[in-house]
Amino acid sequence: MAIVNITDSIALGDGLPLLVVAGPCAIESRQLCIDVAGRMKETCGELELPYVFKASFDKANRTSISSFRGVGLEAGLRVLGQVKEQVGVPVLTDIHIPDQAPVVAEVVDVLQIPAFLCRQTDLLVAAARTGAAVSIKKGQFMAPEDMKCAAEKVTLMGNKRVMLCERGTCFGYRDLVVDMRSIVRMKTIGHPVIFDATHSTQRPGALGFRSGGERQMIPPLAQAAVAVGVDGVFLEVHPDPDTALSDAASMLHINAAPALLGQLKAISTLPGIR
């Protein structure tokens, strides 16, 4: 399996420490991002786990048109740049249209392709051409093996810095189910695989005008994913999830992160796991 270098000092892949990607769902304020990034950097440092901060400047696929989407591209990149400079951690954020790719890549270290957009060729090609690392979330409608084609839209542009992300499969109405075989199958494609432990607990549209979620399922799903050999975990964390402006029901309280990450590290270091 290829090793993906995110920065000179942070990489992920077989045999490397479990990568942690964590932050609030959306950029609500500069201070929230600085505080969360600082706390997660400290936690991951104590556990000797590599850390990447994440937050979205725009949540372009909210359930309702009246839902909070974020602070926008210009303000969002300003905040993400400040997180990098002041906290000293790499950052990840979503892009939604090809024109955003080169602008965002000037600031962030990892461009994330949202699950609903994982087949959008122009978006993947634009992300690839920036040279930044690219994380492609598997669509809820995609078989894991089909992510090979999504990855090739990046690698055939000459960018080998690709990681894939599992976030559950639609099952019936307003429910997601994670098939842990998906992680095993995606790893055979040859790229590191991350598990999105928070979006996988969503119940899309379950609250009528916004998505619900089962926050209590985050730890067991994350533990299972690490046990089958995932290379990194993606967690949306917040100091007060119930008041968060996006994905409140499926975010982990930041106070719960140290214990969970300690458990995940312990699992990841068991013989034969990774």
pLDDT of residue 173: 74
The verdict on residue 273 lying in a domain is no
3-state secondary structure string across the chain: CCCEECCCCCEECCCCCCEEEEECCECCCHHHHHHHHHHHHHHHHHHCCCEEEECECCCCCCCCCCCCCCCCHHHHHHHHHHHHHHHCCCEEEECCCCCHHHHHHCCCCEEEECHHHCCCHHHHHHHHHCCCEEEEECCCCCCHHHHHHHHHHHHCCCCCCEEEEECCEECCCCCEECCCHHHHHHHCCCCCEEEECCHHHEECCCCCCCCEECHHHHHHHHHHHHHCCCCEEEEEEECCHHHCCCCHHHCEEHHHHHHHHHHHHHHHCCCCCC
- Domain range for residue 154? 4-268
The verdict on residue 204 lying in a domain is yes
Residues of the chain with pLDDT under 70: 62-64, 172, 204-212
Which CATH number covers residue 55?
A: 3.20.20.70
**How many domains, the chain?**
1
The verdict on residue 31 lying in a domain is yes
The verdict on residue 274 lying in a domain is no
The model carries a pTM of: 0.94
Question: Per residue in 147-199, pLDDT tens?
Answer: 999 999 999 999 999 999 999 887 767 788 899 999 999 999 999 999 999 99
